[in-house]
Amino acid sequence: MAAVSVLVLAATIPGCVAMATEDSGKPEQTQGKSPSGSGTAGSTGADGKPVASATPSPPERVSAELTRGSESPGKAVNLTIDDGPEPGWTVKVLDVLKKNGATATFCIVGSRAKEYPALVKKVVAAGHRLCDHSVDHNVAMDKRSEAYQRQQVLDARKMIEDAAGGGARVLYYRAPGGAFTPYSREVAASHGMRPLGWNVDTHDWKNPGTDKIVATVKRDLREGPTILFHDGGGNRGQTVAALEQLLPWLREQGYAFGYPRIR
């Protein structure tokens, strides 16, 4: 049955053999075989006032190009939080975001959403957006079959939306470890999820030290607006401490907190 569904999908997605390009920032990992939630709060300016509309209704299909640019005009950053939800750490991240009037996109692992649905509901209730981060966070999924990739993308979306409840929608897809393929991007895009890249990799999952995380963001922010953090995968105390320093600093520098482009 899986093989049949893959063939049907391949037959109905035109132009999938071409590699998608990015809308901004540096090239992302895009290897592999060619294919055949949303919150309610808008972006905020340096004064804490909304500068963008609420989460738009998701289209049936979006571009398969990796998105890194911000929906917000002018000077803005997109905070993205990966690998959760994680008991303890997700709530701490949410608290820091709330304290600083910041919005973020949470890239959620499907199996974790199924295990901790209350945390997914907290993310949505706080007005943040949802991103599909696969079922199992297999960083080698780009080496697996198309049927496996499709299952990882679409099953995770259902797990996240079921956990969120209330009609919340997943608007993005980020491959674990950047293991995108042309095929997985097309599967996501054809189901209304924009493939999501990043510009600034904080490497916070390595626990390099709070000062190092902060310095990395300040140094690399010139590369583009989308910043990669983590609330899952281990002790995220350094991430929380770094956010406590960075969010006020970003406001002082005149940055708004926005969301990655969907369209």
Question: Which one from 47, 82, 83, 203 is the annotated catalytic residue?
Answer: 82
| Cα first-last separation, the chain | 32
In whole angstroms, what is the distance from residue 31 CA to residue 195 CA? 14
Encoded tokens for 137: 């966070």
Q: Are 52 and 258 in contact (CB under 8 A)?
A: yes
What is the DSSP code (8-state) at residue 26?
S
Residue type for position 59: P
Q: Is 203 a catalytic residue?
A: no
Alpha carbon distance 45, 52 (integer Å): 9
d(CA 216, CA 151): 35
Q: Residue 156 carries which side chain, given as an amino acid letter?
A: A
Residue 5 dihedral angles phi and psi, to the nearest 5°: -65, -35
Choose among 175, 179, 211, 195: nearest CA to 83: 175
**Catalytic residue list contains 136:** no
Strand partners, 229: 81
β-pair partners for 129:
105
Per annotation, catalytic residue among 133, 137, 191, 230: 230
- Which of 208, 220, 218, 184 has the alpha carbon at shortest distance from 68? 220
Q: Any idea which residues carry the catalytic annotation?
A: 82, 230
